Chain A
Amino acid sequence: MSQSLQSYLVISSALFAIGVFGLLGRRNLVAVLISLELILNSASLNFLAFNKFSLPDKSLGQVFVIFIIALAAAEVCVALSLILLLYRKKDSINVEDAKELRG
Chain B
Amino acid sequence: MIFKELIKIIIYGTLVVLFISVNALFLVWAERRVSARIQLRRGPIHVGWQGLLQTVADAVKLISKELVLPKEADRFLYILAPMLVFAPLLSAFLVLPLAQNVVIRDLNIGFLFIFSLTNITFIGIFIAGWSSNNKYALLGSMRAVAQNISYEIPLLLSTMGVVLLTGTLKMSELVPAQAKGWFLFTQPVAFLIFLCSSLAEANRAPFDIPEAESELVAGFHTEYSGMRFALFFLGEYTAIFISSAIAAALFLGGWQGPLLPGLVWFLIKTYGIIFIVMWIRWTFPRLRSDQLMALAWKVLIPLAMVNVFVTALVLELQKILA
Q: Please determine if A and B sit in direct contact within the complex, based on CB atoms under 8 angstroms apart.
A: no
